Structure formats: C-alpha cells, structure tokens
Amino acid sequence: MKNLLVMGIIILITSCATSMSPSKISSALPALRKAKFYSSVQASEAIKSSKCKVLVHDRKYLAPIGLTTRGDLKNGAKGIDEWVSIDGGNAYTLKNYQWLTVDEKGSTQLQIEFNTMTCD
C-alpha cells in the first residue's frame, strides 16, 4: 500500500511539471510528429544547398493544454504536423518554445515557434 502511495505521489509531482529541458524537447518532439524535423544547423545547410525551401517563417502555435508536459508536447507535435500540411510542406525546424502561464492557478500552455519547409 505504501508503494502505491509513493508511486501516486511521484506521478502527481511529475505530471505537474511545467516545462521540459531543451534536450528532452529535442529528443521527444521529432518522435511524436510525422513531418521531418531539421535541427537549426541541418536546416541552414539544407536551405543553402537548395535541398529545402522555407515556406513560412516564425509560425507560432499555442498547443492545447495536456494533462502533463508530455501531453502538451503531443498536442504541440500534432499542431506542427497540421500546419506543415496546411502550408504545403513536409518538414519543419524548431525556432523556440516556451510554457506560458495561463491562469492564476499556475496552469501552463506550450507555445511553439517553428519554420515550415518543403524539402526534396
């Protein structure tokens, strides 16, 4: 019973986290979406070599609030895929992200800034 209580407390604490580290974002986000992810360096090189073309610069997407930061990230990934598709692209590069406080209770919402690209 104690183990169950401790596990419940750990899950509660981790689900209330309001952000993720850049390394977690960089590894988790590309795995959650369909569009091809390019790092900043990869995107610059692909654009210089004419392999990719930027269709939309600095798009900001405010993802629906999830139950956890992982849920926020899944919602953000879904939004990226939808915008990339709408823009006629097949790839993106992450420009910035942040969790914004949206109410007096401290609830947060993920805002993602990215470039939509089309690549060969």
Q: What CATH code is carried by the domain that includes residue 115?
A: 3.30.110.70
Give the 3-state secondary structure of residue 46.
helix
Domain region containing 68: 18-119
33, part of any domain: yes
23, part of any domain: yes
8, part of any domain: no
Q: Alpha helix (H) ranges present in the chain?
A: 2-15, 22-32, 40-48, 69-86
67, part of any domain: yes
102, part of any domain: yes
Count of domains forming the chain = 1
Residue 57: how many CA atoms within 13 Å on its side-chain side?
A: 1
pLDDT score, position 62: 96
Query: Which residues 6+ apart lie within 8 Å of 85 measured at CB?
Result: 35
pLDDT score, position 16: 45
Query: Which residues 6+ apart lie within 8 Å of 109 measured at CB?
Result: 62, 63, 64, 65, 72, 99, 100, 102
pLDDT tens per residue, the chain (120 residues)? 665 544 444 444 444 445 666 667 666 666 666 889 999 999 999 999 999 999 999 999 999 999 888 889 899 999 999 999 999 999 999 999 999 998 898 888 999 999 999 999
pLDDT score, position 76: 92
10, part of any domain: no
13, part of any domain: no
